């Protein structure tokens, strides 16, 4: 920017786009981005794709685009690290004055970018894109997603906003803050919420994927939800303390009662059913408790190794142009 205040200079906006087997969608996405005009906002766009270990023609398409277009770059990861890691790679390499992570399937509509940039120009540090309806998602996905937000926000803090995905504009200083968070298991929605900053919102209707298939099935989403919860809350651990008291205190009372009764009246042998029920119930509780403990221990173990979040095989950033 050569010392010129940002408000007068042309700002660079980097779109960070993780792609995993998206040979059908990338050309459509690039056409849509090419249509965008941000001159009146004194901004220009560049696109930084992150190839997340695709096994189709994605990488060669990206290489071709990078050679032909002066606003396209790509990072090629050494294997599939998952969307969160791919997004992290993109955010760490992006050079824009503002950065926007977005999906390649046009479910995050590029038309919204002008609004976001305008809000950013007005002083917002983060501009969230909120989905006003999710009719394009299946009923199951909508219901489970809303349960997830409810449970997560009940147990974890800070709360993550409902109906907001990864699609958002972040000012350079927000991106720098994100880069400082050291954890290697990255639940981006939670990290975005954690760093805070002044936030504005724009809204949109989520449409269907333009081409290709979703990469997230039910099992992946379930694990993703667990990841989010355990990353941002230790309440599941604490629940066991309370449950322990809840079981132990009545047990103590009951124990005193039995001992007294045995002393005063003598013991009667029956009691098999209640004995077995108590053993099974407590055994089950203990196993669940150990499972929850294990979940956190496992996370601690993985974090302790301190492995990098992703490995880059090849990196071609968009050429820097003097604005
Ligand atoms: N994606 C990725 N790595 C993965 C899975 C997905 O980079 O392991 C990318 C994918 O190419 C797309 C974005 O993440 O750009 C969102 O994926 P998708 O549309 O399949 O998710 P959905 O919209 O169904 O939640
Ligand atoms: Mg999608």
For the record, the structure tokens of 260 come out as: 């007294």
Give CA separation, 294 vs 234, 246, 301, in Å: 13, 22, 10
Which residue, 57, 62, 50, is CA-closest to 92?
Answer: 50
- Which of 8-22, 60-74, 216-230, 265-279 shows the lowest mean pLDDT across its residues? 265-279
216 lines ligand 1 (CB under 6 A): yes
pTM for the structure as a whole: 0.81
- 234 or 15: which carries more pLDDT confidence? 15
| Ligand 1 centroid to residue 105 C-alpha, Å | 8
pLDDT in tens, 21-54: 999 999 999 999 988 878 787 889 999 999 999 9
| Ligand 1 centroid to residue 123 C-alpha, Å | 30
Residue 5 pLDDT more than 70? no
Which residue, 297, 188, 193, is CA-closest to 236?
Answer: 297
pLDDT in tens, 235-260: 888 888 888 888 888 888 888 888 88
18 lines ligand 1 (CB under 6 A): yes
**Could you tell me which residues come within 8 angstroms of residue 1 by beta carbon, excluding any fewer than 6 positions away?**
9, 97, 323
Residue 202 pLDDT more than 70? yes
d(CA 274, CA 128): 55
Band (pLDDT 50/70/90 cuts) for residue 323 is: very low
**Quick one: average pLDDT of 105-110?**
90
Contact (Cβ atoms closer than 8 angstroms) between residue 50 and residue 19: yes
Band (pLDDT 50/70/90 cuts) for residue 321 is: low
**Quick one: average pLDDT of 135-157?**
84
The number of residues in the chain equals: 323
202 lines ligand 1 (CB under 6 A): no
Nearest CA to ligand 1 atom 19: 214
Instruction: Give the model's pLDDT for residue 6.
Output: 54
- 133 or 19: which carries more pLDDT confidence? 19
Contact (Cβ atoms closer than 8 angstroms) between residue 116 and residue 41: no
Which residue, 282, 155, 209, 215, is CA-closest to 20?
Answer: 215
213 lines ligand 1 (CB under 6 A): no
**Quick one: average pLDDT of 291-310?**
89
46: burial class by Cβ within 10 Å (0-12, 13-18, 19+)? buried
Instruction: Give the model's pLDDT for residue 3.
Output: 43
Which residue, 9, 179, 10, is CA-closest to 93?
Answer: 179
d(CA 206, CA 129): 10
Three-class SS of residue 255? helix
Nearest CA to ligand 1 atom 24: 214
d(CA 156, CA 160): 9
CA atoms within 13 A on the CB side of 131: 20
Ligand 1 atom with minimal separation from the 86 CA: 7
The strand ranges marked E within the chain are 11-19, 43-51, 72-77, 98-101, 126-133, 164-171, 199-205, 312-316
| Ligand 2 centroid to residue 221 C-alpha, Å | 13
pLDDT in tens, 46-92: 999 999 999 999 999 999 999 998 899 999 999 999 999 999 999 99
């Amino acid at each position: 920017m050569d010392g010129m205040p940002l408000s007068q200079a042309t700002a660079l906006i980097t779109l960070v786009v993780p792609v995993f087997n998206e040979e059908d969608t990338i050309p459509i996405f690039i056409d849509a981005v090419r249509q965008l005009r941000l001159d009146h906002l004194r901004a220009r766009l560049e696109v930084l794709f992150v190839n997340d270990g695709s096994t189709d023609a994605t990488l060669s398409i990206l290489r071709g685009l990078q050679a032909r277009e002066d606003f396209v770059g790509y990072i090629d990861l050494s294997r599939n690290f998952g969307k969160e890691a791919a997004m992290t790679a993109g955010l760490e390499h992006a050079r824009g004055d503002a950065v926007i992570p977005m999906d390649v399937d046009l479910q995050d509509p590029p038309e919204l970018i002008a609004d976001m940039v305008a809000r950013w120009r007005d002083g917002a540090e983060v501009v969230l894109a909120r989905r006003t309806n999710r009719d394009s998602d299946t009923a199951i996905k909508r219901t489970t997603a809303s349960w997830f937000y409810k449970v997560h926000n009940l147990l974890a803090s800070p709360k993550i906003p409902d109906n907001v995905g990864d699609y958002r504009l972040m000012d350079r200083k927000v991106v720098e803050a994100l880069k400082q968070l050291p954890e290697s298991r990255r639940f981006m929605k939670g990290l975005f919420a954690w760093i805070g900053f002044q936030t504005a919102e724009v809204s949109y209707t989520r449409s269907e994927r333009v081409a290709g298939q979703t990469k997230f099935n039910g099992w992946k989403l379930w694990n993703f939800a667990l990841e989010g919860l355990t990353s941002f809350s230790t309440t599941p651990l604490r629940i066991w303390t309370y449950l322990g008291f809840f079981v132990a205190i009545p047990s103590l009372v009951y124990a005193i009662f039995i001992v007294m009764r045995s002393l005063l009246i003598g013991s009667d042998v029956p009691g098999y059913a209640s004995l077995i029920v108590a053993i099974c119930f407590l055994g089950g509780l203990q196993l669940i408790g150990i499972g929850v403990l294990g979940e956190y221990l496992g996370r601690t173990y993985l974090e302790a190794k301190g492995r990098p979040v992703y490995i880059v095989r090849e990196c071609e950033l968009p050429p820097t142009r003097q604005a």
